[in-house]
Structure formats: C-alpha cells, structure tokens
Structure 1
Amino acid sequence: MTTKPNGRLSHHHAEGPVTAPPLLLGPSLGTSYALWDKVAPELSVTHRVIRWDLPGHGGSPAGLIGPGATVADLAELVLALAGSLGIDRFAYAGVSLGGAVGLHLAAHHPERVSSLAVLCSSAHFNGAQPWRERAELVRREGVAPVAATADSRWFTPGFTVPELVQDHRDADPDAYAACCDALAAFDLRDRLSSITAPTLLVAGRQDPATPPAHLREIADAVPGASLTEIAGASHLAPAERPEAVLAALRGHFDGYASRGMEVRRQVLGDEHVDRAQARQTPFTARFQDFISRYAWGEIWTDSTLTRRERSMITLTALVAHGHYDELALHVRAARRNGLTPEEIGAVLLQTAVYCGVPAANSAFAVAQRVLAEEDDTAG
C-alpha cells in the first residue's frame, strides 16, 4: 500500500500483515524507497514493512526540510510517520543517510527502536566540507552534476540500476542540498556507546563512500553489535546484493523465528524437526517459517501458561478434531514437558466427556502405542 503525502508526512509504502512486527526501512541520499524493491517483499513475510522517502525524493514533499537541516530533523519525520500509522515501537534498517537516521533514533529515542540495522553508512561522513561543497553545487547547478557520477559512487564497475539513477536525477535540488547539510553536521561518535538496541552493521566490501572501516568503527563502539561485510557490494548493497542483505537482515530481525525453532526442538525433539526441515520445499518454506515464528516463537514462549499446561490443551484440541497422527507427536511432546502417563490418561479421559467416547477411544489407542514405544526405547 502506497500512501500519498499530505504535506506534513513522508511518502511511504507499506506491505506485510498489519499484525506483524513493524519494520521501517530508510533510503540513501539520491534514492527513493525503490532502493528496497528486491528486499522488502521478502521481509514483509514476517514483518509489517514501511518504506519511506526522503524529503524531495520519490513522492515526499520537498518542503519537509530546509537549509541547515539535520539528521535529527529527518528522524522526527520518521517518528511522525510512525505515529500516524499507530506504531509506537519498531525495528529499523537504513542505508547511508537512512542508516544515520537509524543511529540517531537508537541513540536519542531508545524507547522507540526495538532493533537496528545500519547498512553502508557511518557515524560521521568524512567531515563537513565535502557535503557543504556538494550542497552549494546542487543549489547552484541542480542535481545533474552529482547524478552523472552516481554509478561510480553507488555500484561496482559494470553494475547499475537505472531506476535508482533516475531517482537521483529527479530529486528536488533544494531538498537534496538540505540533506547534504544534514550529512555535513552529522557526527554521532560520542553517542554510540549509549545505543542499547540490538544492532547489526552491514558493509559493502567495495564501498568507496562508506568503506567497511566506517561500519567497523560503529560495531566496535555499540555494545553487543555485530558486523557483516558483503563481497561484491558497493554503496547500495540492497540493490546490488539483495540476497546477501536479505539473509543478514533476516538473521538479525527474525528473533521470533530463531527463538521458535529452539522451542520447537525442545518440545518436539531434534529428530522430528530435522525431518520437517529436510522435507521443506520452496512451496512449504513460508508455512514452516510461520510455524516456527508464530506457533513456537510467540504462542509457546508466552509465559502465561506452562509447557505442561500447553501440552494438555494441545492434546485435547487434537483429540477434538481427530488429528491422531499429530496426537502421537504431542503425546511424546507431553512426556518431554513433564506429564506422566497417568496425567496423559487423565487428559484423554476428560476428552471422552467433552469430545466423545469414540474420539477418546482412538486417542487412547494412539497414546498407548506411543507410551509403549517409549518404554521399549527406555528398556
């Protein structure tokens, strides 16, 4: 869903389930949210992804900022956008200037940022003078002179994304220059150690604008941060190496999926989960991710009920619906979760009253077979 700007908010595009955890994606100077075209749709499988445009870029109004703008001003625009969407706390990933916005948000508004990824960016952008000179050039001659050299700054030799280069040419000169002012004034090195959000740094190994050393400096200063370098990537890594960027961001942001897989193994056993993973195909991959992320990563990790209680509820539901193959799996899971054979029998007896005697009769047969197999294995 693309939302047109109302003069006060940044132009943005939303995709993914409205109930999923929100993830905001920020662009680089000279690009639009199209920078994320090859990554955002995949991230939207597990997140509510909101991509936004810088002032004067893409569909955002140029008048959102003016001369002397700061990264703090851009961060306020992001907070205003999140507020308009009813989003209080969010994960955030940004490239270059968009990454600087993320660093500012994490340092100055830690209660709003749940997790942070900073791509091809810096805590300072090689001093103020080059950006002041670029701002003066663009105000005097427009964006054409800097757009003409975009390929060499953005991509490895021989690679380009014409749509993004066109975004550069179409950017409003005054808003572009104001963004240069923001980069000139930006230096967050003295605040990096205060960032508490889980932080991932992603560097393009062939990036001349923000070389890996800039990302390493952030990683060394932010407590617990990690750094990933992507070979064959320059400054716009999401456009040039989307698969590698996607893998890095998924590993960082999909906490529910990784936590869910751990719980799934604890309850169902490694052998069963390994078989399920081995049978996974591209057709079933999203379903397997859903199971790990939602069923095991959110429901089974909720501390309101114990795992013993969840096993009893699950056994009852499976009997009620006649899912006896699944019942066998969860009888074994119930034993791992601490239920005795007598307690499992009591649960099944209860189902005879509320689910029917035939259903309970079939369930007892399944449970007796599973428990006997367990006894034989133990013996």
Structure 2
Amino acid sequence: MTTTPARLLHHRAAGPASAPALLLGPSLGTSTAVWDGAAPELSAAHRIVRWDLPGHGGSPAGLIGPGAGVADLGALVLELADSLSLDRFSYAGVSLGGAVGLWLAVHHPERVDRLAVVCSSAHFGDPGPWRERAALVRAEGLGKVAESAAGRWFTPGFTEPRLLDDLLGTDPGAYAACCDALAECDLRPGLAAVRAPTLVIAGRDDPATPPAHAREIADGVPGAALTELPGASHLAPAERPGPVREALRAHFAPRERGSGTSVRREVLGDAHVDRAQAATTGFTAPFQDFISRYAWGEIWTDPTLSRRERSLITLTALVAHGHYGELAMHVRAAVRNGLSAREIGAALLQTGVYCGVPAANSAFAVAERVLAEMDEEGDGASPG
C-alpha cells in the first residue's frame, strides 16, 4: 500500500521501479480492487500504479466538485504521475477510467505510450440520466444506486461483494461529481488525434457501455484493435480477469524485453510460461521479472553458445545440484532445442562421472519419464 499526500489521488504501486509504468484507472463506484485479478501478473513486467477516483477508495472527496469534467480527472492523474516522476506511461482504464485515458491520449499525447480502453465509451449517452443520478445521490445517498449495481456491472449469477461494498463506502458528493463528468463527456471529436497504440476491450453482455460503444472508439482511433469478451459485462477485469489480463499483457508487452520473453517461450513452451505468469503474485512478480530480463533476456539470448549447448550445460548443472523438478522442465526444453534422446542420455552419463552415480541414476529416471510423456503427446525427441 502506498501512502498518498492529501491532495493527490490515492494509489497503489507494485512491480519493479525500473520497469515501464502502467497506470490502471477504475470505474465509477469502484476502487483499485477492480484490478485485483489483473494487476499482480502485469506487475511482473511493469511498474503498476492503480488509482482511486476522488471520494472512492482512499482518495479525498475534496479533489472534485459539482460540475466536474473528465478533464478535471485527467489533470488529477497527471498530477499523480508527476508526483511519481513518470514523464511517460502506458494506461488502461475501465469505464470512466477508460474515458480519462482517452482524454489523456488526445490532450497529452506526449505522456501516453500505449493505451487500453476497457468497457468504456467516448460518449456515455444522453446527459439527462447522469444528471438525474447525480441529483438522487446528492439527495439520498448511494443506497438506491447500490441496489441495481450488480445488474449493471455483472452478468446474471456473478457478483463481487468487495466491489459492491466499495460502492456503498464511496462519498456521495464525489460520486455525483463523477456523474457530472460522465454527463458532459464527449471525446468523439478527438479520437482521430490519438497516436498511442490502442486496444479497446468490450464485454459482450455489457448494458452500460455496449460493444457498439467500443466499436465506435476502435473505428475512430487510427489503428486501434478491438477485443470482445463473451460472458463479460461492464466490469470485465473483475468478472473475466484471465482474458482481460492476457489481452493487456500482450498489448503492453515491453518491447525492450520482448526478446527475453520470446526466448523463454521458445525454450520452455507457452504452457509453462503461461502457468508461471498466471500464478504470479505481487510477492513473486520481482522474481519473474528478474528471470525474464536476466536469464532469458541476457544469458539465453547471448549468441556465443548455441541453444543446444546451453541445454547440455543446464542439464548438467541441474543434476549436480539435485534440482530434479527443474531437470524435468529442461529435458523438455532440450528436445525443443534440438537434442535427441541419445544425446540427452550421453549428457546424463557424463554427469555420472563428475556428479556421482546416484545423481545420474535419479536424473535418468526423470529424463526417461519425461521423454515417454513427450512420446505419448506426439512431441518426443528423435532417438538419435
């Protein structure tokens, strides 16, 4: 948790301080928790900064007042970025948070590297209903709005109590001011000015910002890509976190680290890397970042040794230290790197001389099992 000065948006930061920055913006009535399903994995390769709307989560309500606009929220995000010394950043936002990202990309293109707009719109419809909701909340609080929130946010049968609790804990005046911002929002004239590579994500079952709104953004922003998620409503990052984070991970993949990630996938296979990334938490994210950058981005990409040679060295080192779980993974990797079953056996036989017969005995058992599994899968090594 990050301690935030009273005049700044509350935020939570995670991931390596030296990594590219990625800001995550929330939807009206939610908090940083809307990104709980995606942020930990994204923080393996990015400095993630999640922020709360004024009066939401931990942000002060006084940062916004009646008659506010999306520009006011965008200015608050820029103040937050400046306080963190982020001259340039990537950005993803849900609903109102997505509109803030569009405003930033239109009016401050020098600050936004890449953009993702999630379950959002460039124009949130007739301003009348938003003004009516703002008046209702100012007069009666958020009780009535909360009663219907699940139907707007999620598909039938799904709910996320934490987010509903966040809504009830939101400051009514700040919520109403955000409704004012949605009422006046019309970013359509500026879409053609967006230069940041843009991904638009829509929930196919979203009643608040239907897929047609996403298509309007994708058609208006030059070169934008569009992804529609089945079984997702308005808060897709909470309801369908897996597909959302995969789409964002691909879109925001740091280009300078792409070679390491690519080599890791080529050597270990997509299934292994996907499992490792899906299991990443805020605690393990720095280690995953280290592995991708250092082991795979610097050592395995060094052309001095071939991948076949690196596999032989790796097999020997793993046997020497008794890391048989890792050995199984790297027997598969050795096959992908072109080693035959006979060559793998010869390498393990060599380890028997220098690492000891018991170590080699265990290694042969592991390798034989893995090679048999690969034969059954139709992905086995040649006999050699």
Measured against the shorter chain, the TM-score band is: 0.7 to 0.9
Higher relative contact order (CA 8 A, sep 6+): 2
Alignment partner of 2:269: what SS? helix
Instruction: Work out whether residues 45 and 254 of structure 2, in 8 Å CA contact, stay in contact via their aligned partners in 1.
Output: no
Aligned-residue offset at 1:284: 6.2
Distance change >3 Å, CA 52–CA 278, structure 1 → 2: closer
Deviation of 1:311 (Å): 4.9
Give the corresponding residue for 1:325.
313
Structure 1 unpaired stretches of 5+: 266-272, 301-306, 316-321, 327-379
Equivalent residues in 2 for 1:41-60 (5 A)? Answer: 41-60=40-59
**Counterpart in the other structure of 2:111:** 112
Distance 1:262 1:36 in 2: 23
Paired AA for residue 40 in structure 1: A
Shift of the alpha carbon at 1:325?
A: 3.3
1:276 matched to 2:275: no
CA distance in 1, matches of 2:270, 2:262: 18
**Structure 2 residue matching 1:118: 3-state secondary structure:** strand
Q: Would you say the 8 A contact 2:54–2:63 is kept in 1?
A: yes
User: In the alignment, what sits opposite 1:135?
Assistant: 134
Q: Cα offset for 1:256?
A: 2.7
- Look up the SS of the partner of 2:175 in the other structure: helix
Q: Verify: 1:241 aligned to 2:247, yes or no.
A: no
Would the aligned equivalents of 2:69 and 2:185 in 1 still touch at CA under 8 Å? yes
1:304-342 residue CA offsets vs partner (Å, 9 max, x unmatched): xxx9xx757x89xxxxxx99938xxxxxxxxxxxxxxxx
Query: C-alpha separation between the residues in 1 aligned to 2:271 and 2:150?
Result: 43
Q: Is the 1:16–1:44 Cα contact (8 Å) retained in structure 2?
A: yes
User: What runs of 5+ residues in structure 2 fail to find an aligned partner?
Assistant: 281-286, 315-384
Residue deviations 1:38-60 (CA, integer Å, cap 9, x gap): 11111111111010000000111
Residue correspondences, number? 305
TM-score (norm 2): 0.73
Identity %: 63
Which residue of structure 1 aligns with residue 164 of structure 2?
165
Q: Which residue of 1 aligns with 2:90?
A: 91
1:256–1:293 Cα contact (<8 Å) kept: no
3-state SS, counterpart of residue 234 of structure 1: coil
**Residues 44 and 288 of structure 2 are in contact (CA less than 8 Å); yes or no, is this contact kept in structure 1?**
no
Query: For residue 45 of structure 1, what is the amino acid of its counterpart?
Result: A
Q: Give 1:71 deviation, angstroms.
A: 0.4
In structure 2, how many angstroms separate the alpha carbons of the residues matched to 1:257 and 1:8? Answer: 35
- Distance 1:275-1:175 versus aligned 2 partners, 3 A rule: closer
1:1-379 to 2 correspondence within 5 Å? 1-3=1-3, 5-256=4-255, 259-260=258-259, 264=263, 274-277=266-269, 280=272, 311=303, 325=313
Q: Report how far residue 33 of structure 1 moved.
A: 0.6
User: Partner letter of residue 313 of structure 2?
Assistant: D
Q: Deviation of residue 253 (structure 1)?
A: 0.3
Q: Distance in 1 between matches of 2:104 and 2:82?
A: 14
Q: How far apart are residue 278 of structure 1 and its match? A: 6.8
Give the TM-score, by structure 1 length.
Answer: 0.74
Shift of 1:7: 2.3
Give the AA of the match of 1:2.
T
